[in-house]
């Protein structure tokens, strides 16, 4: 396990964190939703109208977000709760917020020194796609795109070093 300072020093673009973010996300979906995330061949922007965000503060500052469309968010909720799709109610925002929280927590736990040196904010969830996110990040976001039950999801980490 590499330390946060080693990883920060190794590559200013943080590209080396992509495999850790990828693994963190896959573990959350496998353990909590019982399904595998698969690679997405496209980077095409689809209508991802549900966004969950968790802030990171401490040794690593930034924002981790999970974006998908309403259909994917509803299916995630259904799988997390173990209920039929038509039984899913207003819990969708809570469920996607928890997914984002667990991906952020699992990601930071994979970097030595970051588990205790970085705090997470409670999740915030935005519905709708007509918005611009202005973060204080001073380096390009790293983003992974995957398929959840054939539906695209995007997970990004914007870092303020």
Partner 1 sequence: MAIRALIVDDSSVMRKIVERSLRQAGIDLSEVFQAGNGAEALGVLKESKVDLILCDINMPVMDGLEFIKQLPGVENAKGVPVVMITTEGSEAHVVQALSAGARGYIRKPFTPEQVKEHVIPVLAGKS
Shorter beta-carbon distance to partner 1: residue 32 or 141: 32
Shorter beta-carbon distance to partner 1: residue 8 or 64: 64
Residues that bind partner 1 (CB under 8 A): 27-28, 31-32, 77, 80-82, 91, 94-95, 97-98, 101-102, 104-106, 108-109, 115-116, 120, 122
Give backbone dihedrals phi and psi of 78, rounded to 5 degrees, phi first. -60, -45
DSSP 8-state secondary structure symbol assigned to residue 15: G
Give the separation between CA 49 and CA 71, rounded to whole angstroms.
Answer: 10
Give the separation between CA 64 and CA 28, rounded to whole angstroms.
Answer: 14
Shorter beta-carbon distance to partner 1: residue 23 or 38: 23
Give the separation between CA 85 and CA 8, rounded to whole angstroms.
Answer: 42
CB of 147 to partner 1, least distance (A): 19
Residue 151 is encoded by which pair of tokens?
A: 């539906």
CB of 107 to partner 1, least distance (A): 10
């Amino acid at each position: 396990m590499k330390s946060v300072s080693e990883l920060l020093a190794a590559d200013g673009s943080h590209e080396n964190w992509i495999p850790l973010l990828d693994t963190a996300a896959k573990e959350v979906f496998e353990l909590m939703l019982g399904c595998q995330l698969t690679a997405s061949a496209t980077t095409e922007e689809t209508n991802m109208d549900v966004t969950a965000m968790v802030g990171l503060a401490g040794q690593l500052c930034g924002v981790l977000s999970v974006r998908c469309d309403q259909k994917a968010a509803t299916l995630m909720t259904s799988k997390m709760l173990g209920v039929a799709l038509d039984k899913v109610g207003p819990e969708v925002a809570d469920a996607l917020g928890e997914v984002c929280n667990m991906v952020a927590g699992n990601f930071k736990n994979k970097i030595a020194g970051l588990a205790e040196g970085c705090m997470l904010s409670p999740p915030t969830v935005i519905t709708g796609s007509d918005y611009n996110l202005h973060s204080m990040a001073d380096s390009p976001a790293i983003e992974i795109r995957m398929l959840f039950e054939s539906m695209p999801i995007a997970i990004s980490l914007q870092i303020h070093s």
